[in-house]
Structure 1
Amino acid sequence: MCYDVKSSLRSQLKRAKHYGDTKKIAEIEKELAPLTDLPIHHRQGHSHPKLLIYTNESPEVPVVSQWGLVPFWVKDNTQRKSISKSTLNARGETIFEKASFRDSAKKKRCLIYVDGFYEHHHFKPENESKAKTYPFYIHRKDGEPIIFAGLWSEWLDKETGELINTFSIVTTEGNDLLTKIHNNPKLKGPRMPVILPDELADKWLNPNEEELDKQVLEDLIKPYPEEELTAYTVGRLRGKDYAGNVEEISNEVVYEELVF
């Protein structure tokens, strides 16, 4: 799963800077960035933050999108608020089958650039009666932005006439690192977001018109190489000790009782 992320404007603009010119980047920073919740040092998906995403319809210039995909067929705001809680992530194995995701899987895919993401590890310290959770921050060893494979959708709010852009992060089975970290006993198995190598990101945005195209997409839904990621423990991301969306939230914190 992926419910907690860190994302800076620098990371979010990496793709735009690769394709665009200085003037275009300045316009994005002036017009789009203020509409987002950036910088995100830590935000939980259930707070539905707004980020920049690159869609198959706008692969070079990002658009503002809210985390928690709302399918076009949602009837009203009551249903919208309900469904967006369960569409923060989309299991890659079933995106072409589930009603909430299959239209987007076929027609509306996107890329989300982040600095890194957070996951919780369950561990029972010696002399404790029950297990505790310990948050880890995961990022690329080379310091470059992580590229998530995503799905997006547009939903028309009939009450206001506003066209709302939303997205979901596609997940897959965890690699060895995430298997070790993401050990929640309540889950069927460890998960991780689908992270795309830089050189394969464009394939996720390519048209899906034939069965062969679908196979190309499914081949991208796999664990990211463990050796290219690194992780360390950080301060609490939940409860009374949570510091909030502050820069130091991703600083390393050592828990003496944790054996990892």
Structure 2
Amino acid sequence: MCYNLQAALMEELRYAIHRGDIHHAEQLQRQLDELELKKKPIYFTSGFSHPKILVFTNEEPMKPQLFTWGLIPAWAKDFSTANVLRKKTLNARVETMFDLPSFKSSAKSKRCLVYVDAFYEYHTVAKKKYPFRIAMKDGEPMAMAGLWTEWTDKNTGEVIQSFAIVTTEANDLMAKIHNLPAASDTPRMPLILAKEKQDEWLIDLKSDADKEHIMSLAKPYAAEEMSAYTVPQLIGKNGVGNAPEATKEFVYEELEF
């Protein structure tokens, strides 16, 4: 998965309604207002900048909360260590999340849903990278599986809530786009959960059967229900950055895809 994400933050109320939280709409609106997210959409952002994104956690599934992308394990000794770690914990592989020190505690008891309109991935041809915007074909938001945690800086007392996006094996569409994964690896994609599976990701783990059920959700999302198209260069000298243009289709005449 590419470490880039598009999330229209002001759409989070619509996402909550999409999940069926209709009776909580007024409460959600107040919470959004308190977070001061009015008129601050994110069209494109890089995970390495550790942006704050709204998530819904297993502890408060009806409440949108603003967490930092890049999970800081609770055992990180200081901010310098935390800052190094979170550059490596933007994503968590579903196959190993219950085993790795950075993720296993969160996998057991701190799971979340990250709602986004789309995400970005690069396709490489002759060393040139072409950015793709991937979204749902029906225009609905996608819910990505996530892990979260809470870390306290012992020097300042600051509490940082952070998260990682869980990934799984790529479907056919994503495997075609993500054509140059890391050496000895296979193409990946975010673990996207269908509406009827989202609450299941947030269940309390009380037995091995519960853990097995969580793992059973780790399937590539159906490629035929997703859409993808190329967009302008996002970063670099000519990159459009966090602007509406980042969401617009851009045709590269030399690219055959």
TM-score (normalised: structure 2): 0.94
Q: Give the letter for the 2:116 counterpart.
A: V
The residue number in structure 2 matching 1:147 is: 143
Name the SS of the counterpart of 2:193 in structure 1.
coil
Structure 1, residues 77-119: CA drift from partner, whole Å, max 9, x if none?
0001000000000011100000000000000000000000000
Structure 1, residues 219-254: CA drift from partner, whole Å, max 9, x if none?
111100001000000011221111110111110000
The residue number in structure 2 matching 1:40 is: 42
- Kindly, what percent of the aligned residue pairs are identical? 49
- Answering whether residue 32 of structure 2 is matched by residue 29 of structure 1, we say yes
C-alpha distance in 1 between matches for 2:191 and 2:141: 14
What is the Cα deviation at residue 33 of structure 1?
A: 4.2
The residue number in structure 1 matching 2:187 is: 190
What is the Cα deviation at residue 182 of structure 1?
A: 0.2
Whether contact under 8 Å (2:10, 2:41) holds in the other structure is no
Q: Which runs of 5+ in 2 are unaligned?
A: none
Whether contact under 8 Å (2:24, 2:62) holds in the other structure is no
The residue number in structure 2 matching 1:49 is: 51
Task: Provide the alpha-carbon RMSD of the alignment.
Answer: 1.6
The residue number in structure 2 matching 1:99 is: 101
C-alpha distance in 2 between matches for 1:103 and 1:253: 42
- Answering whether residue 8 of structure 2 is matched by residue 8 of structure 1, we say yes
Aligned pairs, number: 253
C-alpha distance in 1 between matches for 2:25 and 2:202: 24
Name the SS of the counterpart of 1:93 in structure 2.
coil
What is the Cα deviation at residue 185 of structure 1?
A: 5.1
Q: Give the letter for the 1:232 counterpart.
A: Y
Equivalent in 208, 220, 224 of residue 221 of structure 2: 224
Whether contact under 8 Å (2:10, 2:39) holds in the other structure is no
Name the SS of the counterpart of 2:174 in structure 1.
helix
Q: Give the letter for the 1:26 counterpart.
A: Q
Q: Give the letter for the 2:132 counterpart.
A: F
Equivalent in 237, 242, 256 of residue 239 of structure 2: 242
The residue number in structure 2 matching 1:176 is: 172
What is the Cα deviation at residue 38 of structure 1?
A: 4.3
C-alpha distance in 2 between matches for 1:209 and 1:52: 27
Equivalent in 43, 49, 66 of residue 68 of structure 2: 66
C-alpha distance in 2 between matches for 1:95 and 1:26: 33
Q: Residues 15 and 259 from structure 1, CA distance in 2 versus in 1: closer, same or farther, beyond 3 angstroms?
A: closer
The residue number in structure 2 matching 1:204 is: 201
Q: Residues 2 and 195 from structure 1, CA distance in 2 versus in 1: closer, same or farther, beyond 3 angstroms?
A: farther
What is the Cα deviation at residue 206 of structure 1?
A: 0.5
Name the SS of the counterpart of 2:35 in structure 1.
helix
C-alpha distance in 1 between matches for 2:155 and 2:238: 39
Q: Residues 13 and 22 from structure 1, CA distance in 2 versus in 1: closer, same or farther, beyond 3 angstroms?
A: closer
Whether contact under 8 Å (2:42, 2:242) holds in the other structure is yes
Structure 1, residues 111-169: CA drift from partner, whole Å, max 9, x if none?
00000000000112xxxxxx211000000011010100000000011222122100000
Equivalent in 84, 89, 109 of residue 82 of structure 1: 84
Whether contact under 8 Å (2:13, 2:29) holds in the other structure is no
Alignment of 1:124-135 (within 5 A): 124=126, 131-135=127-131
What is the Cα deviation at residue 15 of structure 1?
A: 4.4
